[in-house]
Structure 1
Amino acid sequence: MVKPLPLLLLLLTINTTTSSSSSSSSSSSSEKLKRVKNKKLTHFTEYWHDIVSGPNPSGAMVAQAPTTNTSTTSFGLVRIIDNPLTKGPTMSSDLLGRAQGFYAFTSLESVGLFMAMNFIFTSGKYNGSTVTILGRDEIFTDVREMPVIGGSGLFRWAQGYAQARTSIVNMTTHDAVVKYDVHVMHY
């Protein structure tokens, strides 16, 4: 038979534990509400230089399917990148950072890429911060929109979208310059 006193102590202990976790939960909720009120929208524009030719390419092919060379859409090609991000469309423009990641040609019917990259800022007001973009880029469409799925530093908890517009493409070398307009909500 259970003695009444230990059972009473057990019930008091459970009640005390529940109360303290409940107050910590409400404090956590108020912190979340405070953060939501401090959400910011940041818009920036930069130019992404995909250099795949010449002596110092910023992109390298790391895989391809057996049929990639005969595919009209380069289906199966995967390229890893460490592309310069500049303030203007020329390489002589101020360097803002690097786009590091990869893209893969994933469409049989159009030249559609799966993009996975981090914009890593190495100068300016966003220095030390990153923005992560993950999405589809159908490169011959005038404006392509891809989601921003995260970030770090000033862009912690980032979400938003990036619009890509091709500025220059060399159809012989396949080098390209793409303008990115990025809209990011963050805390």
Structure 2
Amino acid sequence: MRNHWIAAVLSVLLGLAHPAAAQQPLRADAGPTSRANVILVTTTAQPEVVVAALSEYLKFNGFAVDTLDAARGLVTTHALEEGQTLAEQTKIRAVRGANGWRLTGLYLMGGPLNSGFTAFSAMFLGLDGAPSKVAFRQVEAAARAIPGGSLRYDRAKVRFGAFTKWEDALKMPW
């Protein structure tokens, strides 16, 4: 009987505290939500300017730039199996769409003694030092290099998994 009374008091207290938290105003610069793996950037800059800014940022930070196409609105980096840094083992893809630019990323992680690689999507998940979050922060930093851009975060279904060959995963847009 006593435990039921304590449980009732706790549920009332938690119920009263919960609506107060929900009434707080949202921040204008809300950060990524858990498991976010897509960054949407809205900008008024011309595609040529965006491609040039992304290219400069990516090259300066050690990425192997693969595709630069302002006409199609496409920027990609190449993930190197023999890469020594996370930037060299990360593929960033920026595509211009109707609502702005969509940036995604994936990174390669090698097995013991680099015996086999697996591709994982860069997402906002885990501890700050987790490879997925570190790779996501690299994609986010590239998104911030877009001039005059405002960032939003989203989640998309990834069409590859841990058992997908990394070569095939690198070819899949998502």
TM-score by length of 1: 0.29
Greater RCO between the two (CA within 8 Å, min separation 6)?
2
* Greater fraction of residues in strand: 1
Q: Greater helix percent: which structure? A: 2
Larger Rg computed on CA atoms: 1
